[in-house]
Amino acid sequence: MSELQSSLLLKKQLAELNKNPVEGFSAGLIDENDIFRWEVLIIGPPDTLEGGFFKAHLYFPKEYPLRPPRMKFVTEIWHPNIEKNGDVCISILHEPGDDKWGYEKASERWLPVHTVETILISVISMLADPNDESPANVDAAKEWRESYTDFKRKVARCVRKSQEECS
């Protein structure tokens, strides 16, 4: 797929999201002149980051949709599947094909049928239901399993901070 085809597909997906917004997030461009760099705002799902407004960036490769974008939270977030630097670790954002370590099936990884909408719905689902078996943030996963009260306290702090940043 050419860079032109990729940019046309991304323009189409952005137009569709603007025309038919999806509950739980909004999306736009970081820079109006660069269709390959998006900014998204995720409204924290109930029972997790409820009330939080979490900003993240999606970086699309020129080979999209044959290769997945990278996603990074800009707003501080405490979660087992989000690295301390904000990088999102979720199966559908992993390069397509078999996992060389055997943790994921090829069908769980990136497929060209995914769209920005399916990515963000998957991320919102992950926020509500962490996978502590394969954590990107080992400290958050350990706390989620062993000291849930402390985990919830850190999440609540991130939510309050996100609300302050949005006001």
Encode pLDDT of 39-59 as tens digits.
999 988 766 676 789 999 999
Q: What's the fold here for domain 3-166?
A: Ubiquitin Conjugating Enzyme (3.10.110)
Q: What is the pLDDT of residues 82-125, one digit of tens each?
A: 999 999 999 999 999 888 877 788 888 999 999 999 999 999 98
Q: If DSSP codes are grouped into helix, strand and coil, which group holds residue 10? A: helix
Please identify which residue in the block is written with the tokens 């990884």: 109
Taking the C-alpha atoms of residue 82 and residue 25, their distance in angstroms, rounded to an integer, is 18
Catalytic positions are 89
- What rounded mean pLDDT belongs to the chain? 92
What six digits make up the tokens of 108?
A: 């769980």
Where are the domains positioned within the chain?
A: 3-166
- pLDDT of the residue at 148: 93
The predicted pLDDT at position 102 comes to 75
Give the global pTM.
0.92
- Here the tokens at position 153 are 């306290």
All residues at 6 or more sequence positions from 87 whose CB lies less than 8 Å from its CB, including other chains: 70, 71, 72, 136
| Cα separation values, 88 from 8, 30, 57, 84, Å | 25, 18, 10, 10
- In this predicted structure, the answer to whether residue 2 has a pLDDT above a threshold of 80 is yes
Q: Is the dihedral angle over the CA atoms 47, 39, 118, 139 positive or is it negative? A: negative
Percent of the chain with pLDDT over 70: 96
Asked which of 23-27, 115-119, 128-132, 152-156 is least confident by mean pLDDT, the reply is: 128-132
